[in-house]
C-alpha cells in the first residue's frame, strides 16, 4: 500500500473520531449493497482491443452520522470476477488469429463522506459522496493461442494501488431504523499488473514484459441500511 494512501486513511479515521464530537448522540449504521460493475475506460496498449465483462459487486460499510445531513463510513467492496478476452490479428503476423483470456478480481477499502440533500424526515433522501482508499487488484494467468495452437502463458499478478470514487444516490426511508438505497459510483481501481514470463522458441528464451492497465468502473448498487 502506498504510504500516502495509508496516511490519508489514518487522517480520515481521525476525522471520523472528531465527527463523533459534533453532538452528544451521533447515529451509527451498517450498510450492505449488491449490484454490478462495468468498465468505464479504454485499456492500455497491452490489453487494447480486448473486452472486459461486467462483474458482480458487493459492499459492506460501517458508518456514523454526526449530524442529520452528513455521514462518514469505512467500506469494503469486492468485485469477484471481471472476465477479459481478446480475439484478433496476431501483432507479429496479422494473417494469424490471436486469442487470450484472463480474469480480473478486486478488493477495495475506502473511507467515504456523504452529504444528504434533504433531511431525514423525507421519504426520499438524495445524496452525493466521495471516497479514497486502497485497492488490491488480481489478474489470473493469461494463456495465448495463435490460430488455435498454444503459444505461451503470461503469469498472473497482484498489485496494490490507490483507489478513489465519486457517488450519487438516494435513500428510501422504510422506518426510523431501516432505509433502502440506490447508488451509482464511478471508481478508479488503479492498475492491474500481470506477472512476467519467458517465451521459449526453439530453445531460445525471449522475456515477455509485465503488462498493466488501469481499470475504472461504473457501478450500480442496491442496498439496505440499518441504523443502530
Domain ranges of the chain: 3-227
Q: For 28, how many CA atoms within 13 A lie in the half-sphere containing its CB?
A: 7
The answer to whether the beta carbons of residues 84 and 137 sit under 8 Å apart is no
* DSSP secondary structure string for all residues of 98-147: EEEEEEEEEEEEEEEEEEESS-TTSSEEEEEEEEEEEEEEEE--EEEEET
Task: Supply the CATH classification number for the domain 3-227.
Answer: 2.40.160.20
Give the per-residue pLDDT at 76: 96
- Shortest CA distance to 31 belongs to which of 171, 163, 147? 171
Cβ atoms of residues 87 and 53 within 8 Å: no
Chunked in runs of 10, what are the mean pLDDT values of the chain (228 residues)?
58 59 76 93 68 91 88 95 85 82 91 85 90 92 84 82 95 93 96 70 61 87 95
Enter the C-alpha cell of residue 201.
Answer: 522458441
Amino acid at each position: 500500500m502506498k504510504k500516502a494512501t495509508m496516511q490519508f486513511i489514518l487522517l480520515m479515521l481521525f476525522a471520523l473520531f472528531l465527527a463523533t464530537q459534533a453532538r452528544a448522540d451521533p447515529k451509527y449504521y451498517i450498510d450492505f449493497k449488491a449490484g454490478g460493475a462495468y468498465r468505464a475506460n479504454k485499456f492500455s496498449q497491452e490489453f487494447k482491443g480486448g473486452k472486459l465483462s461486467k462483474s458482480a459487486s458487493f459492499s459492506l460499510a460501517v458508518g456514523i452520522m454526526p449530524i442529520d445531513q452528513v455521514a462518514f463510513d469505512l467500506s469494503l467492496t469486492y468485485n469477484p470476477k471481471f472476465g477479459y478476452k481478446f480475439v484478433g490479428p496476431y501483432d507479429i503476423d496479422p494473417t494469424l488469429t490471436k486469442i487470450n483470456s484472463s480474469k480480473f478480481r478486486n478488493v477495495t477499502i475506502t473511507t467515504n463522506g456523504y452529504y444528504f440533500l434533504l433531511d431525514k424526515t423525507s421519504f426520499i433522501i438524495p445524496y452525493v459522496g466521495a471516497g479514497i482508499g486502497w485497492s488490491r487488484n488480481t489478474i489470473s494467468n493469461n494463456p495465448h493461442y495463435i490460430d488455435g495452437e498454444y503459444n505461451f502463458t503470461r503469469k498472473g499478478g497482484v498489485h496494490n494501488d490507490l483507489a478513489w470514487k465519486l457517488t450519487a444516490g438516494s435513500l428510501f426511508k422504510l422506518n426510523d431504523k431501516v432505509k433502502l438505497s440506490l447508488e451509482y459510483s464511478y471508481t478508479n481501481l488503479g492498475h492491474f499488473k500481470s506477472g512476467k514470463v519467458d517465451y521459449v522458441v526453439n530453445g531460445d528464451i525471449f522475456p515477455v514484459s509485465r503488462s498493466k492497465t488501469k481499470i475504472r468502473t461504473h457501478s450500480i448498487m442496491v442496498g439496505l441500511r440499518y441504523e443502530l
